[in-house]
Amino acid sequence: MPASRDVVFVDGARTPFGKAGPKGMYAETRADDLIVAVIRELLRRHPELPAERIDEVAIAATTQIGDQGLTLGRIAGILAGLPRSVPGFSIDRMCAGAMTAVTAVAGGIAFGAYDVAIAGGVEHMGRHPMGEGVDPNPRFVSEKLVDPSALNMGMTAENLHDRFPHLTKQRADAFAAASQAKLAKAYADGKIEPDLVAVTTRSVEHGWGLAIKDEPPRPGTTVEELAGLKTPFRPHGRVTAGNAAGLNDGATACILASADTAAELGLPVKMSLVGYGFAGVDPSVMGIGPIPSTEKALKATGLSIEDIGLFELNEAFAVQVLSFLDHYGIADDDPRVNPYGGAIATGHPLASSGVRLMTQLASEFADHPEVRYGLTAMCVGIGQGGSVIWANPHYAGAAA
């Protein structure tokens, strides 16, 4: 049996995220073209990586249909110009698709099946709304296997507010406003642009365009403005368009390699994989999923939550992140949490978001050599959570 090898995160990139729908900047741009643009950019940034050395391409999509279907990893690899010898596959774990693509190929690297792999995800929610074409088995309803609200992500967030009434709408709105402010500052500080891939867009009405920044952010958003928004999932509810991620289009991808292969080829190392965990929870409160998945990851690595110095938590809904922070006794405004803002501001193109978390964490690691470990975690539809722990290659010991 081969010895397990260390796995490193070489680099990651993403398209700017767009608003889903006919007015969004990617309304007439294909989903597969979005992921191809990111793969091409990663190869352009790393000429030291021979394309034939890539052993796998794993690309996630939640709605695997149309231009997000047909074994997307293989199709995207060919369209990106990789040699025909490079295989690829598609993967689906809803919101944690790209995260699962990373952990899947990382396992292959650790085992010795791969030396280098590309993992990522794409979601064009304007072309393919979540659930398009699905046919849920009637047993889910007839045998009451899950609460009917489990298939409506907004309702599961309302259920989470019900379970934890101290996680009020006011706290959710404050967290959401802070996310917008942090992303605006990150843009002003030049922290976001290095991760972005400029994408050519097309429009029958407006002609060709160029997407160079995220479309969803609302800088300057105030708690007072958020307080007046409608609650679409329940009368007098607590979940609004302001304290939840929107419907978005976008793609992400990253290069993973074994540590020895990275050294051989001269590839940079932005993070090292320490461990991960996935867990299932009651689908009607899917937002608590990152808590047991983080417990699994911590147990597998022998670490505690006190060892984590940076958190990249996907903001599908503010209440979901608040439930995680509350569980671990972390303040709502802890500066270690989503320093560059999160999905409430950037957007959440479902299966692509996991690698956005990782790419942002890698950038934050470079700014914080006093931090040894970081966590990327997210809730997942139909009642799951995913958590990945990373080590900072810039770690220089405890701060003086």
Mean pLDDT, the chain, rounded, equals 96
Examine residue 177 and state whether it is found in any structural domain, yes or no: no
Residue 208 within any structural domain of the chain: no
Q: Which CATH number goes with the domain that contains 339? A: 3.40.47.10
Residue 143 lies in a domain: no
In 3D, which of 214, 394, 240 has the Cα closest to residue 310? 394
- Listed residue (273, 376, 346, 398) closest to 15, CA to CA: 346
Q: Return all residues near 287 (Cβ < 8 A) that are at least 6 apart.
A: 156, 157, 160, 316, 317, 319, 320, 323, 379
Q: Give the pLDDT of residue 190.
A: 97
Give residue 399's pLDDT: 45
pLDDT of residue 149: 84
Backbone angles phi, psi at 254, to 5 degrees: -145, 160
Alpha carbons 312 and 290: distance in angstroms, whole number: 11
Please state the domain count of the chain. Answer: 1
Q: Do the domain assignments include residue 188?
A: no
d(CA 26, CA 197): 14
Which domain covers residue 42, as residue numbers?
7-127+246-390
- Given this model, what pLDDT does residue 1 score? 59
Write the single-letter amino acid at 273: L
Amino acid 148: pLDDT: 85
Q: Does residue 96 fall inside a structural domain? A: yes
- Which parts of the chain register pLDDT below 70? 1-2, 398-400
d(CA 181, CA 170): 17
pLDDT score of 146: 87
CA distance 237 to 165: 12
The verdict on residue 38 lying in a domain is yes
Cα 19 off chain centre by: 16
Q: Which residues are catalytic?
A: 95, 348, 379
Phi, psi (degrees; rounded to nearest 5) at 117 = -150, 155
Supply the pLDDT for residue 140: 86
pLDDT at 231: 96
CA nearest 363: which of 8, 3, 11? 11
CB 339 within 8 A of CB 110: no
Q: How far apart are CA 346 and CA 184, in angstroms?
A: 10
Q: What is the dihedral of CA 365, 102, 318, 29, to 10 degrees?
A: 110
Rounded Cα gap, residues 154 and 286, in angstroms: 10
Q: Give pLDDT, residue 253.
A: 98
CA distance 62 to 130: 7
Q: Following CA atoms 34, 37, 38, 39 in sequence, which dihedral angle do they give, to the nearest 10 degrees?
A: 120
Q: Does residue 205 sit within a domain?
A: no
Is residue 283 a part of any domain in this protein?
yes
User: What pLDDT, in 10s, does the model give residues 152-203?
Assistant: 899 999 999 999 999 999 999 999 999 999 999 999 999 999 999 999 998 8
Q: Which of 374, 385, 130 is nearest to 282 (CA)?
A: 385
| Residue 92: predicted pLDDT | 97
